[in-house]
Amino acid sequence: MEKINKFDNNLFLKCMDFSVNSSQRQSKYMNVMLNVCNTIHNLLKHENLIIDLQYNPSEFWPKAKKKTVAFVDGGLARNNLFNSSPLAIRSGSYIVNKHLKEELFEHYTNVVLNLFDRKNDLYDSIEDELFESLMLTKKKDAARIIIEAAELVNHIITKRRIDLCFLHGPIQAVLTPFVQEGFPPFTNLAVQKIIPTYKKNLNIDDRHFINVYLECIKLIKNASYPIYGVLETAISSSYSRNLLYAFKNKGIISQKDYDETINVIKEYRITDNNIFEIILEKNQALKPLEIQKQFYGSKIIQKSRWDEKIIEYPNVFVGFIKVNDFQSPIRIETYNYPKNLINDFSYILAISKLLPSYSYPVGLHIVDKLVKIPQWWNKANKKQWQSHALNDFIKSNQKNPNSLILKYITNKNRTWSNRPKNTGARIEK
């Protein structure tokens, strides 16, 4: 009888063996990273795109504290009620001027409403739990994106005096998740809340996310003050790819070198953060590059009936700032090339140094806590609804134990708390 090798069935030993024998693979990855970084670094130096930001707190803050700066973010929570899917939405701003001793917390959107028009919900007729879950995620993402844009639009329409404005997140979202056929439009009420100046007689297409978001972006781009989107991490390599693409078009690098570098970036999933964390030193930044965010090269990300409308979306200028040696660079996005690049980037650097262990603008950290809807809110809201529903059921004198209300308010979810314990499971008789 053939002897069984225990190693073949031991997952832990297999993992350990893989780790021990993967040094060659790791070494290859490091060599690939160094080669890519050297290539990108040489291109950055050729175009003089790396800038040194001077940070002297005693000289910087007496001047900077005279600025009126707004920090914007949004939060939402979905009430899991059986009869509808309303969204609790909250967007807010933290506006500060240290010289005038002004510090304001404002909520522009603070409502509970059915944001999307359910008369045009495609997923209602599809019995596919995965599809339904994905559609719900997209709807929640669209809601968060649009209310943050609405907060910026509100500042612009009301002509509030602001010197600098920062958004927690990208200045322009990637539209791929929202171009799917059947993605529901917003309700008329929601659109008027988002953009009060938008036209009144709206058809279904007018109320679609692609059109409403574009109207917001047009106003944001033409604001009288700089508006920046700030991201903690960048999971794409759009800056590096666009840099390589520009140099290929100029004839500085060959088509062969361009293709090889792009293929390596794709194969090893190398992001801008991976590259610039190695290239940049603390207090250094990259000048913004103009990037067509909804396209890569000349190809649209996903073909849809919204292609002509998506072409109207403006390009985005993208840069990076490395605050210290302990965190990866933060990504900065804006619709217009900064007129005061050094001053604006120096301000972002300074307010990020106030969070040394996180290296992110402290004002955005504050407004994030302001607008975030905590988990206890959702639980309390659901319990309140359950109590009200149960009370109505009792008053109705119904005797049917299989009532939909009773089924809903009981704990029927399969969770870890329902799993058998070590002491044994309850047996139904």
Task: Report the chain (429 residues): mean pLDDT per 10 consecutive residues.
Answer: 54 73 74 93 96 93 93 78 59 93 81 65 52 76 92 93 96 91 86 84 92 96 97 90 93 92 92 95 97 65 79 96 94 97 97 94 94 76 73 71 58 61 55
How many Cβ atoms sit within 10 Å of the Cβ of residue 35? 13
**Residue 194 is inside which H or E element, if any?**
helix 188-194
Q: Are 314 and 217 in contact (CB under 8 A)?
A: yes
Domain ranges, ordered by start, for the chain = 51-373, 376-411
Give the integer Cα–Cα distance in Å for 268 and 249: 24
Of 295, 290, 360, nearest to 326 by C-alpha is 360
- Residue 287: which H helix or E strand, with range? strand 284-291
Closest to 368 measured CA to CA, from 68, 72, 98 = 72
Strand blocks (E) in 118-181: 164-168
What is the rounded CA–CA span in Å between residue 225 and residue 307?
Answer: 30
Q: Element (H or E) spanning 93, and its range?
A: strand 87-97
Which residues have CB under 8 Å from 12's CB, separation 6+?
none
Q: Estimate to the nearest angstrom the gap between the alpha carbon of 27 and the chain centroid.
A: 33
DSSP strand E in 154-236: where?
A: 164-168, 227-231
Residue 35 confidence (pLDDT): 93
> Do 332 and 228 form a contact (C-beta atoms < 8 A)?
yes
Give the model's pLDDT for residue 256.
Answer: 93
Could you tell me the two tokens for 413?
Answer: 């979810």
Sign of the C-alpha dihedral computed for residues 35, 36, 41 and 47 taken in this order: positive
Question: CB–CB of 143/76 below 8 Å?
Answer: yes
What 3 state SS string does 321-339 have? EECCCCCCCEEEEECCCCC
- State how far the Cα of 284 lies from the Cα of 320, in Å rounded to an integer: 9
Pairwise CA distance, residues 283 & 352, whole Å: 11
Given a contact cutoff of 8 angstroms between Cβ atoms, the answer to whether 217 and 313 are in contact is yes
Question: Strand 227-231 to strand 164-168: parallel, antiparallel, or no bridges (unpaired)?
Answer: parallel
| Side chain identity at residue 154, one-letter code | N
DSSP state, residue 201: S
Complete DSSP assignment for 410-422: S-----GGGSPBT
What are the CA-CA distances from residue 392 to residues 271, 354, 386, 389 (Å)? 55, 53, 10, 5
What is d(CA 157, CA 160) in angstroms, rounded to the nearest whole number?
8
d(CA 219, CA 373): 27
Q: Is 323 left (phi over 0), alpha (psi -120 to 50) or beta?
A: alpha
CA nearest neighbour of 224 among 154, 160, 315: 160
For residue 296, the model assigns a pLDDT of 46
Residue 383 tokens, joined? 């319990």
List all residues 6 or more positions away from 220 whose beta carbon is below 8 Å from its beta carbon: 149, 152, 153, 156, 171, 227, 335
> Residue 361 in contact with residue 396, Cβ under 8 Å?
no
Residue 353: its H or E element = helix 341-353
Helix and strand totals (H; E) in the chain: 14, 11
